[in-house]
Amino acid sequence: MRIMVVYGREPDVNVHQLIAASKKLGNETISTSIMNLSASVGVDGSKFWIKNRELLHIDICFLRSLGPGKHEQITRRISLIEHLEQAGTHVINSPHAFRTARNKYATYCALTNVGIKVPTTFVTENATLAYHISKQFGAFICKPMIGSMGYGSMKFDNPDLAYNAFRLLERIGQPIFIQEYLAKPGRDIRAFVLGKRVLASIYRTALHGEWKTNVSQGGYVEAVDLPSEIEALAFKAAQKLGLEYAGIDIAETPQGPVVLEVNSSPSWQGLQKATNMRVAEHIIRYAIKKAKN
């Protein structure tokens, strides 16, 4: 198999582990920043390049990031990966599923359409309207609509304090994305879905006095065997979005389990630490089997 791993500006530890696992299993493996990919289409068919070197047929492409950029740059990168997919490469996760899951607004819409509970969320570009809506929430979170690892997420109890953040977002042309803060037992669940099963799951517990459970924010992890109904919920969320592998974050609330986020290029370092599982190797084996079928 010829396998390519596509990352954003720089490869992270997950990318390095995918590359190492792919090579270990005997695959010809290359990697590149998505910003270095180019393509042409015309009477001679489709051709692709990494920098100035033409890219020969790739069996499997792991899409890990679209990288930073302006709207036109991100649009070009998405279109190029879709082009690669149309040319016969199996892209994991597919560009459509990847970008839907990256957009929290689109994710929540898709999940609620199949009856999956998500936090009550309000999206706008109007700071004054956000201010009035936030008064209905009590404690609430303001977070980036597209983001990960808890970066940029802020918890507020006071709408007047939040209004300053809303005004700044409005001024710089960014959407305002607010949602209710859910009562939970100081932890949440990360279920790692691969194919048609939950590969493994962990509890992520926030540091004392903190509310973010993300591993990147110092959250403590421990392996957990989930009840079958929560595993089914995680799989249903991934399946609805068309994801072949995903990290599903679930809060245990008095009203039952609520899906907080769906990650289309999840990090598995916390999962690996808690379970000693070689996650990258499982992903590569799954992808090879899927491509062969």
- Rounded to an integer, what distance in angstroms lies between the CA atom of residue 26 and that of residue 200? 25
Fold of 100-117+185-292: D-amino Acid Aminotransferase; Chain A, domain 1 (3.30.470)
pLDDT beneath 50, residues of the chain = none
Protein fold of 2-92: Rossmann fold (3.40.50)
Q: Which two tokens stand for residue 202?
A: 């962990």
Query: What Cα–Cα distance (Å) separates residue 181 from each residue in 123, 162, 184?
Result: 15, 14, 9
Residues 6+ apart with CB under 8 A from 106: 100
* pLDDT for position 146: 86
The predicted structure's pLDDT at residue 149: 62
Q: Classify 198 as helix, strand or coil.
A: strand
Residue 136: which residues within 8 A CB-CB, separation 6 or more? Answer: none
Q: Cis link prior to 93 (omega < 30° from 0)?
A: yes
Q: Which helix (H) or strand (E) holds 62?
A: strand 60-63
Query: What CATH number is given for 121-180 in this structure?
Result: 3.30.1490.20
How many whole angstroms separate alpha carbon 144 and alpha carbon 121? 12
pTM: 0.92
pLDDT of residue 50: 97
| 187: CB partners within 8 A, 6+ apart | 203, 204, 205, 206, 213, 252
Domain ranges of the chain: 2-92, 100-117+185-292, 121-180
